[in-house]
Amino acid sequence: MTVNSNQLRIGLADIALLTKVQRPVVSMWRSRSKETDTPFPGPVAVENGQELFDAAHILDWLTATGRGNNPHAAEDVSAFAFMENFRPNSARMFDGVTSLLMLRQLLGSPIGMMSTDELMDAADESDPDDTFLYSELEALGEDLCSLAIYADLLAEGAYSTEAAFENLMGNRFRAGIREQSDVALTDTAIELVAAAAVELSTETPEGRLFADTTEGGSDLLMGIVSAVQEAAPLTLVTRNDDGGASRLVRRRLRVHDVQRQALRVDDSGQFELEGPVVHVAQYPPPGDTEMSAPQILAAVETTALQMDDAQRAVIIAPAGVLVDDATTREVDELRSGLLRMGRVRAVVRLSRGLVKGRPRQAQALWVLGPAYEAVPAADRWTMVADLSSTELTPDVVSDLVSDLAASMGEISMIRAHSFRFARLVHTRSLLASRGALASAPSASQAAADGRDIVRIEKLTDSLNNHRPDPLALEVESGAPAARNPLTTVGGALAVGQLKYLPGNRIADTDLNNAAGAPVIGLPELLEGATARHIDQLLLAANYPSARRTEPGDVVFCTGPRPAAVVDPEGSAVVVYPARVLRINQTDPGGLLPAVVAADINTATGDDWKRWPLRTIPDGERTALAETLKDIETQRAQAQSRLNSLAELATLITDGVAGRGLRLPRSPAATDQDAPTEGTR
């Protein structure tokens, strides 16, 4: 499709992303081309101080000058530009374009050449009851046809309607669609809730059943779809109200061909839902971002009252509502009433930074399940965990989900489970405390429940049974005069044995220490810091052209000193000023990633292209690579052993100091007759 010059606008930062160059390069193009026959196109508009350019003029200029590193810029431009009349911060436009993408998906063909009448007739046929797109298209009015062209451009630029839809969903954060972005969860939070919901679900002949009865939360539902994948069929239940957020949920599920079941929720929040369903909910939801604490607790109570013992619920909401000290008497009474019902099986306080629009707000989880009516009220229990300062790494999420699943069982099953994070608390104690529900246990409490004994035994067994394998290494003396030739970084680049890739410009505020795509930048290169991350949704939304490493890439920096590491896994995001050197596997010229990194780490001088690099003869490269891999495996095993020993020392020290553990003493020695340190 030809891009009309009156259709798309693009800013300088997005031109850099489109052409796969750094932002200052675009400014250099503008300044250096002024006096040439092909000057850089001038801006056609200025919006909030940002210059906007005609995308077609930019494409013509790129074609004429050959600038940039993206030969497919013409095909990709719609992913970085926007229409002159399309304002991303307009909910009407956002809903309209997502509806047009949905219509395009249903028709199975482009819609840009259809007239207004044809588009509305197609919408009426596709959505006769106006449940997900007819009203949105009608509201576009005279913008309908031009935005249909734009929807085609988005779909073709993203190579599929589904991908284009998700690009728009990702762009809602940058565009400021407040209803959708203010309470949007990070990837880490979505993955935690989804993993817990899937773990608690029951597979029936019809598949698994999940329900979200809030107003418009589709991120958690799509997280469940991703977690289940194709392991089992699933049905998602969402409310059938006519709010914009709920209609967006229906469009999103429909465009991904996810089976949905409609649920009628009355004005008081009542609904009827039978079977082994798992309820998932985020509060406040996108459809009601200003929901108060009493309203949130009342909504949770409505869900709990309508659950039976076959149903489960995973609820994420601000910690100030679910677990922290109650701010008002009303909140305290509502929360106490919910605890007395007996369905709150687990309470978990989570860290800050799990809501993109509210990074300083801590979150919490409640898991609801069977009430065990046969258990006397005085003997009922709740699992409690405080992960306020714990990073939600994949292993933490896995173990926490295991703890949450165990909390659903009867008391005998719970006592048989080795909890990593949770502890068993009588519900009456939580009610009596009148304070925070998930405060961290004291040292004596943490040791006294005995669960650390299992961890100590596991660590001891692992240390005793998994000793490093012998390192098989044989070397021979080489001929003294047969020294391997040297090259330089610049020389290897010139002949194509190395390829240079610049780092990505990523805002520090978008980086985190939780799950997501690993990040390599100056801290990782210079300090050996644990890899930072950037969540996948944010990366796709804000940095759609971000380059990833491949296995064996050498990531390096020039200052404040030369430093380099080899990325053995690939798929990392390299953050400027770090850069990448990639060895040409078909013509390596004797270069080996580990040797290149070692040479850079000992290099001197500011001109990195003149750094010398050693080369390895073809007959030795494979043997050296395998030997270095074996050594690295041994080093990693040794580090893991050191980590286990450190954890073991901490567990034993805390256990004995907290009087929850005892170390059997030798009959021949007691504390009384042991010599005092520093005496004879």
Q: Tell me the C-alpha distance between 304 and 341, whole Å.
A: 8
Which has more pLDDT, 501 or 381? 501
Residue 670 has pLDDT above 70, yes or no: no
Copy the structure tokens of residue 614: 């050693």
Residue 472 has pLDDT above 60, yes or no: yes
Computed over every residue of the chain, the mean pLDDT equals 81
Which pLDDT score is estimated for 376? Answer: 72
Query: What does the pLDDT look like over 267-311, one tens digit per residue?
Result: 766 777 778 899 999 999 877 888 899 999 999 998 898 888 889
Residue 102 has pLDDT above 80, yes or no: yes
Is-cis flag, bond preceding 39, omega within 30?
no
- Confirm whether pTM is higher than 0.75: no
Q: Tell me the C-alpha distance between 655 and 650, whole Å.
A: 8
Which pLDDT score is estimated for 403? Answer: 84
Which pLDDT score is estimated for 442? Answer: 39
Which pLDDT score is estimated for 147? Answer: 86
- Sheet of strand 573-574, all strands in order from the earlier edge strand to the far edge: 532-534, 517-520, 573-574
Residue 673 has pLDDT above 60, yes or no: no
Copy the structure tokens of residue 483: 């020294």
Q: Kindly state the helix (H) or strand (E) to which residue 571 belongs, with its residue range.
A: none
Query: What does the pLDDT look like over 156-200, one tens digit per residue?
Result: 767 788 888 887 787 665 555 666 667 888 889 999 999 999 999
Which has more pLDDT, 105 or 649? 105
Is 525 within 8 Å of 555 (Cβ atoms)? yes
How many other CB atoms are found less than 10 A from the CB of residue 668?
Answer: 6
Which pLDDT score is estimated for 76? Answer: 72
Which pLDDT score is estimated for 367? Answer: 93
Residue 575 has pLDDT above 50, yes or no: yes
Q: What percent of the chain has pLDDT over 90?
A: 23
Which has more pLDDT, 663 or 40? 40
Q: Which has the minimum average pLDDT: 73-82, 395-404, 484-493?
A: 73-82
Across the range 366-373, mean pLDDT stands at: 85
Which has more pLDDT, 197 or 153? 197
Residue 481 has pLDDT above 60, yes or no: no
Q: What percent of the chain has pLDDT over 70?
A: 82
The pLDDT confidence band at residue 29, using thresholds 50, 70 and 90, is very high
How many other CB atoms are found less than 10 A from the CB of residue 370?
Answer: 17
Is 320 within 8 Å of 327 (Cβ atoms)? yes
Is 358 within 8 Å of 183 (Cβ atoms)? yes
Which has more pLDDT, 568 or 432? 568
The pLDDT confidence band at residue 464, using thresholds 50, 70 and 90, is confident
Q: Of 120-134, 314-328, 345-359, where does the model show the most confidence?
A: 120-134
Across the range 546-567, mean pLDDT stands at: 91
Phi-psi region of 612 (alpha: psi -120 to 50; beta: other; left: phi over 0): beta
The pLDDT confidence band at residue 122, using thresholds 50, 70 and 90, is very high
What are the structural domains, with CATH classification, of the chain?
8-175 (no CATH), 182-440 (3.40.50.150), 486-616 (3.90.220.20)
Residue 2 has pLDDT above 50, yes or no: no
Q: Please give the span between the terminal C-alpha atoms of the chain, in angstroms, as a whole number.
A: 91
Q: Tell me the C-alpha distance between 2 and 56, whole Å.
A: 9
In single-letter form, the type of residue at position 584 comes to N
Residue of 503, 460, 537 whose CA lies nearest to 220: 537
Upper half-sphere CA count for residue 439 (Cβ side, 13 Å): 11
Q: Tell me the C-alpha distance between 192 and 227, whole Å.
A: 10
Residue of 513, 510, 512, 532 whose CA lies nearest to 521: 532
The pLDDT confidence band at residue 217, using thresholds 50, 70 and 90, is confident
44 by Cβ neighbours in 10 Å (0-12 / 13-18 / 19+) ranks as middle
The pLDDT confidence band at residue 70, using thresholds 50, 70 and 90, is confident
Which pLDDT score is estimated for 160? Answer: 82
